Amino acid sequence: MSSSVSARLVRLLNMVPYLKANPRITYAEAAADLGVTRKQLQQDLDQLWMCGLPGYGPGDLIDFEFSGDTINVTFSAGMDEPLRLTSPEATGLLMALRALADVPGVVDPEAARSAIAKIESAAGAVHPTGAVAAEPERAPAESEAAAAVREAVRSGHAVRLEYYSASRDTLSERIVDPIRVVLVGDHSYLEAWSREAEGVRLFRFDRIVDASVLDEASAPPEPALQGSTDTSLFDSDPALPAATLRISPEAAWTLEYYPMRVLRELPDGHFEAAMTYASDEWMARLVLGFGAEVTVVEPAELAERVRRAAHAALGAYAEAG
């Protein structure tokens, strides 16, 4: 979890007790006390408005009254009292944290292990049955590159990245100014100002081959720091070609691994999915690697390229045999 995400989580947890203790406080006063801009305060309130107790209906969610320029908590959902986890709740939380810690790049392993240790200590490491929990296995160590990126974010330093671009099948080196670590889907990304592209870019942790923290301070432009994370980068780029693929049930895992959009599920269990790509050569190699489990429906030019490459490969095998 990035330092910015951690700071916001702590602020959100403290915000309801703070507002309860300061009824009808103004936006300006609350923003100043909490050390945030009015825009960020409004975003935090919008987030809290969607939080609450199981049921998540009227009377379950945190509620506010906004009168003029003041804020007043009308229902706290218990967030103004110390949190007390039941044994089943603590066990469920521990299981979720251990699962996250086992996925490289999703969270900071050290932070996850620290949270696990604290919960186990508070709960006495007891299962709902009353049995003492077994000593958990240590989560796999984070890669040196990922650890360096997190250190650069924490210390506010620029970082030199060696990055693998899956869509272009190339390695590139660039210097970036880190902004924050964000979680999108099941992957952690470094959001940073790319000096080469002169814009904000997202770099997926498991595609950062190497990272070196530089002596110079990170200095992204102020608008980049204040702006919210732009996840439109994950949408299809209309400037890139798109392929329609027919995917067998055995290869359905590719729908989660690659940036695809499912168009429809066919009666025989196959899927049709759309995928954008930057290089015909790279896309043809990708499809060939799946054999008969993934085929190109369109464009026809790509399908013909795959067909020719497959015939050439079969011919080479025949000659070798």
Question: Is residue 149 located within the same domain as residue 229?
Answer: yes
Instruction: Provide the CATH number for the domain around residue 149.
Output: 2.30.30
Last residue of a domain, one of 234, 268, 301: 234
Question: Is residue 310 located within the same domain as residue 249?
Answer: yes
- Report DSSP state, residue 278: S
Q: Is residue 220, in this structure, part of any structural domain at all?
A: yes
Question: Is residue 258 located within the same domain as residue 276?
Answer: yes
* Stronger pLDDT, 84 or 6, i.e. the higher one: 84
In three state form, how does the secondary structure of 140-198 look? Answer: CCCCHHHHHHHHHHHHCEEEEEEEEECCCCEEEEEEEEEEEEEEECCEEEEEEEECCCC
The whole-number pLDDT of residue 169 equals 61
Q: Is residue 116, in this structure, part of any structural domain at all?
A: no
At residue 142, does pLDDT exceed 70?
A: no
Query: Structural domain of residue 307, as residue ranges?
Result: 242-320
For the segment 36-60, the average pLDDT, to the nearest whole number, is 76
pLDDT above 90 covers what percent of the chain? 14
The whole-number pLDDT of residue 232 equals 52
pLDDT in tens, 193-250: 988 888 888 888 888 889 999 999 999 888 877 766 665 545 555 556 889 999 998 8
Number of domains in the chain: 3
pLDDT in tens, 253-300: 887 777 778 888 888 989 999 888 777 888 888 898 888 899 999 999
The token pair that represents 184 in the structure block: 């999108």
Instruction: Provide the CATH number for the domain around residue 30.
Output: 1.10.10.10
Q: Is residue 129, in this structure, part of any structural domain at all?
A: no
166-171-175 Cα angle (round to 5): 115
3-class secondary-structure state, position 314:
helix
Last residue of a domain, one of 208, 234, 260: 234
Question: Is residue 224 located within the same domain as residue 249?
Answer: no
Q: Is residue 109, in this structure, part of any structural domain at all?
A: no
Q: Is residue 190, in this structure, part of any structural domain at all?
A: yes
Residues 47 and 58 sit within 8 Å (Cβ to Cβ): no
50-54-59 Cα angle (round to 5): 65
The whole-number pLDDT of residue 131 equals 40
Give the span between the Cα atoms of 270 and 283, in whole angstroms.
20
Give the span between the Cα atoms of 75 and 64, in whole angstroms.
7
Q: Of the ranges 32-36, 94-98, 149-153, 195-199, which one carries the lowest mean pLDDT score?
A: 94-98
Strands 187-194 and 199-204: antiparallel
The whole-number pLDDT of residue 1 equals 42
Question: Is residue 149 located within the same domain as residue 208?
Answer: yes
Q: Is residue 207, in this structure, part of any structural domain at all?
A: yes
Closest C-alpha among 134, 141, 154 to residue 101: 141
Q: Is residue 91, in this structure, part of any structural domain at all?
A: no
Question: Is residue 206 located within the same domain as residue 229?
Answer: yes
* Stronger pLDDT, 133 or 163, i.e. the higher one: 163
Question: Is residue 274 located within the same domain as residue 205?
Answer: no
The token pair that represents 152 in the structure block: 């650069």
* Stronger pLDDT, 309 or 109, i.e. the higher one: 309
Tokens 């801009």: give the residue.
Answer: 37
At residue 151, does pLDDT exceed 50?
A: yes
The whole-number pLDDT of residue 255 equals 79
Question: Is residue 261 located within the same domain as residue 313?
Answer: yes
What does the mean pLDDT of the chain come to? Answer: 77
At residue 128, does pLDDT exceed 70?
A: no
- Enumerate residues 6+ apart whose C-beta is below 8 A from 77: 16, 51, 52, 53, 60, 61, 62
The whole-number pLDDT of residue 216 equals 92
Q: Of the ranges 33-37, 163-167, 246-250, 289-293, which one carries the lowest mean pLDDT score?
A: 163-167
The whole-number pLDDT of residue 2 equals 42
Burial 40-74 (b: 16+ CB within 10 A, else e): bbeebbeebeeebeeeeeeeebbbeeeeeeebebe
Question: Is residue 206 located within the same domain as residue 283?
Answer: no
* Stronger pLDDT, 102 or 249, i.e. the higher one: 249
pTM score above 0.85: no
Q: Is residue 71, in this structure, part of any structural domain at all?
A: yes
Question: Is residue 230 located within the same domain as residue 247?
Answer: no
Q: Please, which residues bridge with residue 175 across strands?
A: 160
Give the span between the Cα atoms of 252 and 13, in whole angstroms.
39
Question: Is residue 219 located within the same domain as residue 185?
Answer: yes
Last residue of a domain, one of 170, 203, 234: 234
